[in-house]
Structure 1
């Protein structure tokens, strides 16, 4: 019979340690994956912001190129108008020269007529008429010449204005060319900075991956160290509280029915409960004395109730009852010599049941105190 009980203790001691190590490893893996996902999100967000800035600069560059193209078209149109005005001026100059030539010819004819008038008085009337006609023609020619000269002056003024506009357009084109060169230089600098940032991000990814491996190794070592001491502690707790079927180990938690320590609806520790807690404190001191100083351990005491409500002056709800029971245990352990910073009390009320149902067996399993030796 003794051999059978010893085999059961060895089996129980081995299985919780294995489950503790496996669950802790899974928690570490989930934590590392979350850290990696957050890092990826932050890096993606930073790269997305740089890509948006680059797209915005490309849009501005395209807009400036469009403006430059419009200015070039305006310049070409102005040059075309200058060419047309130059051709018109040349044509007007030719007409003016022709009129002057006609005037010279008319003057020569008038001189010849006057000579003929001196030689022949009989032709005076005819010559006078010719003179009057020629004078009228002269007046018309002079008027036409004056009109042509006025048109020529207007053409010169228009040509001057167009020349000024062309100079302004050339200055604007030169300014836009300088701005385009500056934007291209800024774009090259931004591209170089982006490439440098991508290289730095790749290096950081490698560092994060290496740190993750180191963290996994460190956490695995800490978990393995603490799980060994936890298994030893739980085994001794079972010896102290007796080999009862209602005392179980769920994951990394040692589950004790509330009835072993407290009366129904009460948070007062009886003499038997205090005696058992004194033994638990002694065992805890023995086990934790072997834990390395760099392992920051804490003993959690979690109080749980069943779903039946309570409403008294001291305990308005199950929250207060579960918390008061956990605090009572922690205070007694402190009085027994356990450092207060190594203890934590939590009350969960009826909101984290082990089993569902309204049967007495289900309610009894949910009324419990959970003891957990874990990392801080």
Structure 2
């Protein structure tokens, strides 16, 4: 009987325990739900608060900037006020000075009659001086006007002279061009006649505006004395030059320039006994040609001799053919 009651009591307790536990769990779930909801609303409120806080921070920064500007304006205003105070002090000092000067002027006005007469005489003297200065100024203005007229006349004359100079320059350029053209025509006739007189020879050629003789045609080795064949060839050149001399206009101061050139080889021992360098050899050969042309009737004032040594070769190279070409006498008909 006792066991049955015990079992029956346990069976009666268990449902109540389960109900209590269920109720507790239900309460906990309700509490947790309320906590979650509260957390949600609290998060929303915190987000809103953060937004408001950022806005307040921005406002504070703006207010701080405005405060800085206000302080700067305050500093400028304080400086301005100080400046104005200084100016006010200067103005007051100036007023005091003017008051003192006014008092002095009042004293001067109250001076004696003699002083007034003296001041009147001084005023009349100043008026006379001013009148004299005005007269001088009028005279100076008159002189200035005269000088201006003279300047304008000089400028007009200068323009006229400038036009005349330009006209003369144009005419001079035209005359020079005609002379150059005439000399070019004479040179062309000279070259043509000389080419016909000399015939077709490989050792005599035209290079630009120059007639070129190889030195071997006119001179022996290491010699500045004309060979017999050289005299024959130069006689042809002199005859052509004398023939066309009358065709050259008298106003053209023409000359025949004779240029001596040596090859690039240094002088040998035997040649150095006669000439110090290729400069001397080339110059002596040019002088020999000029002297021979003079002996043939060419006026000496129309002849010029120059030596260039080995420094202006016609062709590069040191082979015998190149050396023979560079060892030469050049003739150039030009204007002095």
The verdict on a shared fold, with TM-score over 0.5 as the criterion, is yes
2:125 aligns to what?
164
Which residues of 2 match residues 181-260 of structure 1 at below 5 A?
A: 181-237=142-198, 239=199, 243-244=201-202, 246-260=203-217
The 1:225–1:249 alpha-carbon spacing in structure 2 relative to 1, beyond 3 Å, is closer
Highest RCO, 1 vs 2 (Cα 8 Å, sep ≥ 6): 1
CA contact (8 A) 1:330 1:345 kept: yes
State which structure, 1 or 2, has the greater radius of gyration over its C-alpha atoms: 2
The 1:315–1:216 alpha-carbon spacing in structure 2 relative to 1, beyond 3 Å, is same
DSSP-derived class of the 1:172 partner: helix
Cα distance in 2 for residues equivalent to 1:284 and 1:163: 95
The 1:281–1:157 alpha-carbon spacing in structure 2 relative to 1, beyond 3 Å, is closer
Cα distance in 2 for residues equivalent to 1:274 and 1:207: 47
CA contact (8 A) 2:263 2:313 kept: yes
Q: Offset of 1:345 from its aligned partner? A: 2.1
Q: Is 1:325 aligned to residue 285 of structure 2?
A: yes
Cα distance in 2 for residues equivalent to 1:153 and 1:296: 94
CA-based RMSD: 3.3
Long gaps (5+) in structure 2: 1-101
2:219 aligns to what?
262
CA contact (8 A) 2:183 2:334 kept: no
CA contact (8 A) 2:190 2:241 kept: no
Q: Offset of 1:359 from its aligned partner? A: 5.4
The 1:191–1:270 alpha-carbon spacing in structure 2 relative to 1, beyond 3 Å, is same
Cα distance in 2 for residues equivalent to 1:345 and 1:318: 15
Q: Is 1:154 aligned to residue 115 of structure 2?
A: yes
Q: Offset of 1:360 from its aligned partner? A: 5.0
Q: Offset of 1:314 from its aligned partner? A: 3.8
Q: Offset of 1:182 from its aligned partner? A: 0.7
The 1:165–1:289 alpha-carbon spacing in structure 2 relative to 1, beyond 3 Å, is closer
Q: Structure 1 length normalisation: TM-score?
A: 0.52
1:173 aligns to what?
134
DSSP-derived class of the 1:243 partner: coil
Q: Is 1:372 aligned to residue 329 of structure 2?
A: no
Cα distance in 1 for residues equivalent to 2:194 and 2:256: 11
Cα distance in 1 for residues equivalent to 2:176 and 2:239: 33
CA contact (8 A) 1:257 1:368 kept: yes
2:311 aligns to what?
351
The 1:263–1:165 alpha-carbon spacing in structure 2 relative to 1, beyond 3 Å, is same
Q: Is 1:305 aligned to residue 265 of structure 2?
A: no
Count of equivalent residues: 229
Cα displacement string for residues 71-122 of structure 1 (whole angstroms, at most 9, x for unaligned residues): xxxxxxxxxxxxx9xx989x98xxxxxxxxxxxxxxxxxxxxxxxxxxxxxx
Q: Offset of 1:322 from its aligned partner? A: 1.1
